[in-house]
Every structure is written in C-alpha cells, then in structure tokens.
Structure 1
C-alpha cells in the first residue's frame, strides 16, 4: 500500500464477482494507490445475513485476488468480535494508520443514498474520505440529509482529498459490468454455469464446497 494512502471496499461478497473486481481495480488505478483492499463483512448490519459463512466468503475473496497484486483481501471485520459497523472499521483503520494517512472508503451510489440509516454515518468523514461510484439510475436527491452532507463535504478533485487525511466525498463514474451476486446465485440455483462471471478459482471453490444449492 502506498505509504500516504489506504483505500478499501467493503461488502458481503456473496459471492465476489468480476463486477466487484473490475470496479476495485479501476479505482486502484484512479486513486494511484499501490493496492486496494476488499473487506468482507462478518454479519452485515444493513442487509439480510448471507447464506454462506463469513469464512467461506473471505476465502472466495482471497481466491479471487490471489493473482492480482493490486488487490488484497482483508479479514479485519471477520476476525473482529465487534459488529460489522463501518464506523468501527474506520476507527480501527485510523488508529492503525495514524492521523495523517488519507483513508478512502469506496461505496456505490445506491449504498451512499442509504447512509443516514447507518450507525454513526455522519462521523465517517472524521476518519476517511468517501468515494462514491456513480451508477446508472441513481441520482442524489434534491434535498434531505444526504444532499446536505454531500454539499458540506464534496471535494473539488482527487488532489484536494489526497492532501487531507479525511473529510471529503468524491464521485467517480465507472462503466459497471452488468453482474450481480444475486444473478450468480440464481444462475447456480437453476443449474446453469456461472463461469466468466467471476474467477475460475471462486467457481471451483463453490463446486468443491457445494455452495449456493449445488448438490452434485
């Protein structure tokens, strides 16, 4: 990891797929960090509990990034006894990395618009910058908490954020791959091949461990 910046993307990764991986890699290039970390959540707070264990989801992330030095798997939430609150993860990262290291937390526009329902959400920018990945069909509301939060913290550019340890919100537009974990789970459940939606090593792990309803 570049000495003066840390970037990460959290999620359930149930399973991790090429949409996650391509987004992470493009953001790693854009931010200019040596490595971007993927942090699987242990027990997601804002969505239904995954059908796979946290250890299985972590193993799939490890397999997915094994041959890509620009990405890494981070087990801090899964190995923690605390709930998978982003706020607690940010506190831990800031304590570990020191006061001056810029920290970038990446999320999709859909997640960003739900931030007011997250634990201690309005304190996130005390610990990090937020990078919001723009996606088709999601626009900021014209008023409300998230609009006010954005107006207060929006960065002029990446360089401005890089000069600070935390405090800014950046928007970055990517061309997303039309892949979702739900689509993959449904494809497997229907007995169809999900190959090329995620790395072959992840598909092999799923078959070996009979995940997502596989019976043979």
Structure 2
C-alpha cells in the first residue's frame, strides 16, 4: 500500500533567496521525510513592504538557486493569483492538487508564527494543513493569548504523530543548521557594491550582478 504524499509549503518573499532559505528547505525535507517542498514566492505579502525587485525576477532567482536539488520546487502559484497573497488560498490549492489523504504541511519561522493570529482566516489553515514551526535558537518572545487560543490542543511532539493524519496539527522543529543570514543585509551590501559571495548560490549571484538587481535603492 502506497504511503500518502508528504508535501510542504515554504512561503516567503525570497528577496533575494539565499543559502539560509535553501538549507532550511533541505533540512525540513529530511526532518519530516517530505516528498516535495514547494518554495512559493509571495507577490506582495500582506504584512510587509514592497519587495525590491519584480516577483518574476525573484522567481527566476529561486529557480536558479534550486537547480536540480531533489525534493525542492519553485512554485509560481501565488504570482499567478490576482489580489493579495493569502496562505489559506495557497494551501487550498495544494490540497486540491494532492488530494484529501496527502500530508500537507505549512512551514513557518518563529517570528511569523508569533504573528499567526493576525493572518487572514488563520483558523482555516488547519482545515487544509499541519503547521510546522521552525524554532529560532535563543528566542525569548512567547506566543500571545490569542495565538494560544487559536492553537488549542493541536500541538504534537513527534513527526510520526504529525503525519498520522492529513492536517490539523502543529509541531515545533529545530533544524540542525541555524544560519543567521538576512536578505535585508544582502540587499544593503549589494546596494553598497559589496560582495555577497557564499551568502547566495553562485547562479543567483551571477544573475544579480549581470542584471544589476538590488544595486541601487
């Protein structure tokens, strides 16, 4: 009997994609035994300012960064959608694609997790997917009362318990490599003409320099 597919959504601005994003995706794939991690650039995230370059340029950089990495996929579905970019709509789309029994995960970082109660229809996220929170070493801020109420009794303590059902649970994970790489800092250095070698994949660096991306504010 075939096992249900294990799929993750890893959204972000990827402005630009860097090795911290990519290493997190690979470690998430391995930690959860995932078949595919959909890395999904947001056209205009509702809770932050406008990205520095066009959505399709960021997608092209992501595709170049992933290359032939097994289990990672650059997914353009949010760029093809009209209006704001809401995670619940993306999860609904992935659920329709993979079917009712697939184990669908939305992975987010600790900072985004703390703001989850402010998201668009956050209670509906669990109707489509599990939530996996990537812990940040040394974090001090704790979840708010509204966030704890939203989570209820959903949290589990193992991958096996998470994957026992298609959706509706939450798991905190600590990935082996915690890379303190900031896209904001990368953009700043590029605007100042400084090197970002070894912070982004070589293919991404070449495209940024050849096309003059991020090099003036």
On whether the aligned pair clears a TM of 0.5, the verdict is yes
1:29, 1:170 → 2: CA distance? Answer: 15
Q: CA deviation at 1:67?
A: 3.0
Instruction: Assess if the C-alpha contact under 8 Å between 2:117 and 2:146 holds in 1.
Output: yes
8 Å CA contact retained: 1:189, 1:213? yes
The answer to whether residue 174 in structure 2 is matched with residue 167 in structure 1 is: no
Please name the residue that 1:129 is paired with. 130
Kindly indicate whether the alpha-carbon contact (under 8 Å) linking 2:191 and 2:214 is maintained by their aligned counterparts in 1: yes
**Kept after mapping to 1: 8 A contact 2:6/2:36:** no
Query: Does structure 2 conserve the Cα–Cα contact (< 8 Å) formed by 1:141 and 1:147?
Result: no
SS at match of 2:79: helix
Which residue pairs with 2:192 in the alignment?
190
Please identify, of 103-112 and 34-43, the stretch whose mean Cα deviation from structure 2 is larger: 34-43
Deviation at 1:185, TM superposition (A): 0.6
Aligned residues of 1:110 and 1:138 also touching (Cα < 8 A): no
CA apart distance, 1:158: 1.0
Coordinate RMSD, CA, aligned = 1.7
Distance 1:46 1:107, change over 3 A: same
Count of residues paired in the alignment: 214
Aligned to 2:157: 156
1:57-136 to structure 2, matched below 5 A, reads 57-136=58-137
Partner Cα distance (1:214, 1:68) in 2: 31
Separation in structure 2 between the aligned mates of residue 93 and residue 68 of structure 1, nearest angstrom: 21
CA drift of 1:207 comes to 1.1
Task: Select between 139-148 and 39-48 the one with higher mean Cα deviation.
Answer: 139-148
Q: Does 1:13 align with 2:14?
A: yes
Deviation of 1:193 after TM superposition, in Å, equals 0.5
Aligned to 1:213, which of 202, 212, 215? 215
Shift of 1:74: 0.6
Residues of 2 paired with 1:156 and 1:178: CA distance?
26
Unmatched tracts of structure 1, length 5 or more:
none
**TM norm structure 1:** 0.93
8 A Cα contact 1:63 1:201, kept in partner: yes
Question: Separation in 1 of the partners of 2:207 and 2:20?
Answer: 18
TM-score normalized by the length of structure 2? 0.93
